[in-house]
């Protein structure tokens, strides 16, 4: 496969995942703001910080209000990581690699773009925010479903899934990090109803509340939630699951091309690090430090994948 085609598939599905993750992050922050008696400015600021867009945001806005943040993250075309921008980028990449996609995947992507373009044409308010976020999640999941239901399990599929899981792992690490390091008002709140409510919102933001309660018989604790989202390989948005999938698809590419790349060894080291940890050791050494290192490792791995498979060469 041409490197340009591989890169188009990889980034198409990274952008789709990023759009969905932005919607999930925004919903999590919105619910967190509702749990606080203050004006919620710190929660809105933390959402933008988690998404890594605070510099770009502050160039355009003087304060962190719900209206400004919602519209900046969802429909600001000047923001390259807004939902409207990432969906457009996903569609552009889909057009680039259209001959590699099934007609169902292309049609689902095109319909996703047209539907969300219309939905985001007007400013978003708190009244219609829930419906907009639900539509984003639904439309991106339809594209993912079309991929699973109609595509051969070959190198095309592997590059698409690598993009998804690189982006998803990064998002899970960031949303956990912002909860523990930014959102919690102070150490005095640890273990309080405010703290517990925010951890439960994190579960909802990754569609994991019901599965967590099913596995833990209704018992909720920050340690248990963090363990579930970091180390439980049964949870499709956990770091362990995402890194395992990255390793599997890189191994499939090794088999396909009869060539082992640096990215596969790098992914193996990340998987080994996760499998050798316990949640107690992570908290003891520092959750923020662990997550920060994971984010750096995932970013580095993404760059190595681009280099190994010559996305731009």
> Tens digits of per-residue pLDDT, 116-139?
999 999 999 878 899 999 999 999
pLDDT of residue 4: 93
Model confidence over 3-30: pLDDT tens digits? 999 999 999 999 999 999 999 888 877 7
DSSP structure string for the chain? --HHHHHHHHHHHHHHHHHHHHHHHHHHHHHHHHT-SS--HHHHHHHHHHTT-HHHHHHH-SS--HHHHHHHHHH-TTSTTSHHHHHHHHHHHHHHTGGGS-HHHHHHHHHHHHHHHHHTSS---HHHHHHHHHHHHHHHHHHHHHHHHHS-SSHHHHHHHHHHHHHHHHHHHHHHHHIIIIIS--GGGTTSHHHHHHHHHHHHHTT-HHHHHHHHTT---HHHHHHHHHH-TTSTTSHHHHHHHHHHHHHHHHHHHT---HHHHHHHHHHHHHHT--HHHHHHH-HHHHHHHHHHHHHHHHHHHHHHTTTT-
Nearest one of 239, 217, 219 to 230, comparing CA atoms: 239
Mean pLDDT, residues 37-43: 65
Does 38 reside within a domain? Answer: yes
Pick the residue with more confidence: 108 or 210? 108
Residue 162: inside a domain: yes
In a domain, 160, yes or no: yes
Q: Give domain status of residue 290, yes or no.
A: yes
Contact criterion met (CB below 8 Å) for 183 and 33: no
Task: Give percent of the chain above pLDDT 90.
Answer: 65
Lowest mean pLDDT among 56-65, 181-190, 250-259: 181-190
Average pLDDT, whole number, for the chain? 89
d(CA 40, CA 44): 6
Give the pLDDT of residue 35.
Answer: 65
Please give the pLDDT value at position 313.
Answer: 58
Q: How confident is the model at residue 40 (pLDDT cuts 50, 70, 90)?
A: low
pLDDT for the residue 209? 82
pLDDT reading at 54 higher than 90: no
pTM of the predicted model over 0.85: yes
pLDDT at site 282: 92
pLDDT in tens, 135-182: 999 999 999 999 999 999 999 999 999 999 999 999 999 888 876 654
For the record, the structure tokens of 250 come out as 């890189």
- 235 inside domain: yes
For the residues 37-47, what does the mean pLDDT come to? 71
- Whether pLDDT at 107 is above 50: yes
Confidence of residue 183 (pLDDT cuts 50, 70, 90): very low
Average pLDDT over residues 191-201: 62
Q: How far apart are CA 154 and CA 156, in angstroms?
A: 5
Higher pLDDT pick, 72 / 203: 72
- 303-309, long-range: CB within 8 Å, 24+ apart, which pairs? 304/261, 304/262, 304/263, 304/266, 305/10, 305/162, 305/166, 305/250, 305/263, 306/7, 306/10, 307/262, 308/261, 308/262, 308/263, 309/3, 309/6, 309/7, 309/159, 309/253, 309/261
CA 170 from centre of chain: 6
Q: Give the pLDDT confidence score for residue 108 in this predicted structure.
A: 98
pLDDT band at 72 (very low <50, low <70, confident <90, very high): very high
- Domain housing 98: 3-308
Rounded to an integer, the average pLDDT of 285-308 is 94
**Is the pLDDT assigned to residue 189 strictly greater than 50?**
no
218 Rama class: left (phi>0) / alpha (psi -120 to 50) / beta: left
Q: Quick one: average pLDDT of 272-285?
A: 93
Q: Over range 228-243, report the average pLDDT.
A: 95
How many distinct structural domains can be found in the chain?
A: 1
Asked whether residue 313 is assigned to any structural domain, the reply reads no
Top pLDDT among 215 and 90 is at: 90
Q: Is the pLDDT of residue 88 over 90?
A: yes
Measured torsion, CA atoms of residues 74, 77, 81, 87, in degrees rounded to the nearest 10: 80
Q: What angle do CA 216, 218, 223 make, to 5 degrees?
A: 55
For the chain, percent of residues with pLDDT exceeding 70: 89
Output the CA torsion sign for 132, 138, 142, 147.
positive
Rounded-to-integer distance, Cα 44 and Cα 105, Å = 34
């Amino acid at each position: 496969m041409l490197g340009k085609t591989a890169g188009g598939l990889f980034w198409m599905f990274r952008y789709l995942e990023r759009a969905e993750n932005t919607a999930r992050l925004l919903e999590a922050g919105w619910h967190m703001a509702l749990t606080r008696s203050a004006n919620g400015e710190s929660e809105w600021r933390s959402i933008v910080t988690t998404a890594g867009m605070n510099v770009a945001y502050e160039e355009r806005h003087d304060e962190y209000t719900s209206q400004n943040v919602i519209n900046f993250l969802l429909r600001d075309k000047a923001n390259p990581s807004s939902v409207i921008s990432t969906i457009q980028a996903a569609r552009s990449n889909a057009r680039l690699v259209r001959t590699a996609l099934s007609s169902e995947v292309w049609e689902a992507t095109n319909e996703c773009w047209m539907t969300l373009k219309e939905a985001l044409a007007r400013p978003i308010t708190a009244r219609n925010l829930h419906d907009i976020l639900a539509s984003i999640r639904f439309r991106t999941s339809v594209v993912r479903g079309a991929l699973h239901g109609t595509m051969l399990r070959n190198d095309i599929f592997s590059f698409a899934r690598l993009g998804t899981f690189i982006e998803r792992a990064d998002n899970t690490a960031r949303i956990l990090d912002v909860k523990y390091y930014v959102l919690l008002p102070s150490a005095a709140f640890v273990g309080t109803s405010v703290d517990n409510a925010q951890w439960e919102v994190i579960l909802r933001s990754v569609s994991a509340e019901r599965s967590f309660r099913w596995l833990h018989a209704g018992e909720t604790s920050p340690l248990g939630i963090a363990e579930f989202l970091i180390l439980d390989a049964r949870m499709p948005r956990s770091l362990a699951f995402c890194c395992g999938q990255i390793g599997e698809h890189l191994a499939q590419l090794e088999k396909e091309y009869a060539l082992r790349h640096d990215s596969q060894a790098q992914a193996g080291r990340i998987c080994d690090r996760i499998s050798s940890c316990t949640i107690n050791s992570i908290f003891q050494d520092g959750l923020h430090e662990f997550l920060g290192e994971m984010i750096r490792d995932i970013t580095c791995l993404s760059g190595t994948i681009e280099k190994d498979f010559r996305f731009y060469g």
